[in-house]
Amino acid sequence: MADMSLKKHEMPTQDPKLRAHNFSEVATGYTEELALAEAARCLGCKNMPCVKGCPVKIHIPAFIEKVREGDFEGAYEIISQASSLPAVCGRVCPQETQCESLCIRGIKGEPVGIGRLERFVADWHNEHSDKAPVKPQSNGHKVAIVGSGPAGLTCAGDLARLGYEVTVFEALHLAGGVLVYGIPEFRLPKAIVKKEVDTLKALGVKVETNMIIGKTLTVDELFDMGFESVFIGSGAGLPRFMGIEGESLKGVYSANEFLTRNNLMKAYKDSSSTPILHAQKVAVVGGGNVAMDAARTALRLGAEKVYIVYRRSLDELPARREEVEHAMEEGVEFKLLNNPVKILGYRNEADRRDPKNGTVIGMECVKMELGEPDESGRRSPVEIKDSNFVLDVDSVIISIGTSPNPLIKDTTEGLEVNRRGGIVVEEDTGLTSREGVFAGGDAVTGAATVILAMGAGKTAARAIDEYISSK
């Protein structure tokens, strides 16, 4: 008989006051006792509604059954059949809108904590199991993967398990893509990403860093080198700016730059050779997960005040609820229905060499109200006349999205992109307009989630296998 309590077992977290000043992981994860207790809440539905919500189709009731039996390694084996990055997904997937949103237990009370259980299982495996994955027999076919983010790693893992000789080409010096440069240590420890990458390497996946496809090599040259198919998972691309006055002042960052300095280059550590401004009052413009990551990072770097400036209301805020709640608990202030108009800079006319010249001293905003719903159904924000005010800040982080990177598009003839620059693919396969070239993740959709990118990597892996098998 299942445990019929209406609430999920809470996952232990660091005290907000404490964690707002360190980079250690916020949520510390289920203990064995908590995992067993939460697993007991699963009804083991025969029709498995939760699996329909999972982009990579993990056999959820089966792995939870194993957890309930205390066979954690068995649970890991079930998850890893479907997911190449279980410890990552257990942490960063928006389960509340995916698997857990379809859980029967959610009709009356809270759904089963599927994400928390997944994370527990993956962490348990990483801590207790030294079972190296077995490298499958090679089928002699070579596939190239462009980008080592969630889409690329998933595609690589699935193909390697099928016996393909997979090489991942990464532009940066470290594998992981957004998992290492974008998502902060306190949400996703980099040691975990490294472990997942090492697991793929044990499966036979080769990772070549410092290889910028579109520059160092082109997609066509990959074919010349003997790769039979290419998967492009090169990620989202260049940060967008608002086009307002003052965006080039010292102290204005794109979220990508701010997060890359901290996450990839470890600027938060004293020993790092990469600098970052330690601002006192920071405004983060935008309301997505990346904005939350930037705001919480700024807090941990020692800012007294961190504001999220967002032009709509809390209901429209696109970030995950859990991230918003964590940010609020830690002391991030939400300036909702506010829109930046201009960033103000210091200017000492008497001394043109004053080093403070060109630094941020404030951000002028205008208040907004929600008007009639537009064609997307969302109520669009409208400026309230004469409501301008100045927010006292010394740094501004702009997190309003990205536009696609042009490097691959510009060097791959016949690769069709849409109006926004995203690569055009067939939805069921990830096939692009070029034979043998597949794509997925943010390079196709524009900025989205880790798990959607993984889903796309998985879809493409299946299609690549079919493509090569049928040749």
Partner 1 sequence: MYKILTKKILNPTVTMMEIEAPFVAAKAQAGQFIILRVDEEGERIPLTIAGYDRAAGSVKIIFQIVGASTALLGAKEAGDYIADFAGPLGRPTKTEGLRKVAVVGGGVGCAIALPVAQKLFEQGCTVHSVIGFRNRDLVILEDEFAAASEKLVLMTDDGSAGRQGLVTQALRELIESGEEYDEVIAIGPLVMMKFVVAVTKEFGIKTTVSMNPVMIDGTGMCGGCRLTVGGKVKFACVDGPDFDGFEVDFDEAMERASIYSDFEHHRYEDTCNLLNKEGAQ
Structure tokens at 52: 């329909």
| Cβ 179 to partner 1 shortest distance, Å | 14
Contact indicator for 461, 154 with CB cutoff of 8 Å: yes
Say whether residue 212 binds partner 1 (CB under 8 A): yes
Secondary element (H or E) of residue 156: helix 150-161
CA 270, 276, 277, 279 dihedral sign is negative
439 phi, psi to nearest 5 deg: -150, 160
SS3 178: helix
- Residue 247 contacts partner 1 per CB under 8 A: yes
Stretch that binds partner 1, among 64-72, 91-99, 267-275, 289-297 (CB under 8 A): 267-275
Q: What is the spatial distance between Cα 436 and Cα 255, in angstroms, rounded to a whole number?
A: 34
Query: What is the nearest approach in angstroms of partner 1 to the Cβ of residue 322?
Result: 26
Regarding 241 and contact with partner 1 (CB under 8 A), the answer is yes
How many positions of this chain bind partner 1 (CB under 8 A)? 41
Is 357 an interacting residue with respect to partner 1 (CB under 8 A)? yes
According to CB under 8 A, which one of 40, 104, 211, 370 is a site residue for partner 1?
A: 211
Binding partner 1 by CB under 8 A: which of 112, 144, 277, 308?
277
Determine if 438 is a binding residue for partner 1 (CB under 8 A). Answer: no
β-strand 252-254 against 395-398: which pairing, if any? parallel
Q: Determine the residue type at 78.
A: I
C-alpha–C-alpha distance, residues 217 and 451, integer Å: 28
Binding residues among 221-240 for partner 1 as defined by CB under 8 A = 235, 237-239
* Angle between helical axes of 60-68 and 32-39 (0-180°, round to 10): 120
Number of Cβ within a 10 Å radius of residue 158: 25
Helix ranges, 205-308 (H): 219-224, 255-263, 289-300
* CB-nearer residue toward partner 1: 43 or 407: 407
Residue 260 as a binder of partner 1 (CB under 8 A): the answer is yes
Cβ atoms < 10 Å from Cβ of 55: 23
CA 419 to chain centre: 24
167 binds partner 1 (CB under 8 A): no
Residue closer to partner 1 (CB basis): 124 or 253: 253
Q: Strands 165-169, 142-146: parallel, antiparallel or unpaired by DSSP?
A: parallel
Q: Closer CB to partner 1, residue 353 or residue 385?
A: 353
Q: Could you say which residues in the range 284-343 bind partner 1, by CB under 8 A?
A: none
Among 22, 209, 387, 469, binds partner 1 (CB under 8 A): 209
* Among residues 273, 350, 376, 420, the one that binds partner 1 under rule CB under 8 A: 273
Minimal distance in Å, beta carbon 347 to partner 1? 10
Between helices 321-330 and 289-300, what is the axis angle to 10°? 20
Q: Which one among 9, 141, 261, 312 touches partner 1, defined by CB under 8 A?
A: 261
Residue from 37, 43, 48, 172 that binds partner 1 (CB under 8 A)? Answer: 172
User: What is the residue whose two structure tokens read 């198919």?
Assistant: 229
Determine, following the binding rule CB under 8 A, whether residue 393 of this chain makes contact with partner 1. no
Residues making contact with partner 1 (CB under 8 A): 171-173, 181, 209-212, 215-217, 235, 237-239, 241, 243, 247-248, 250-251, 253-254, 256-257, 260-261, 264-265, 271-275, 277, 355, 357-358, 405-407
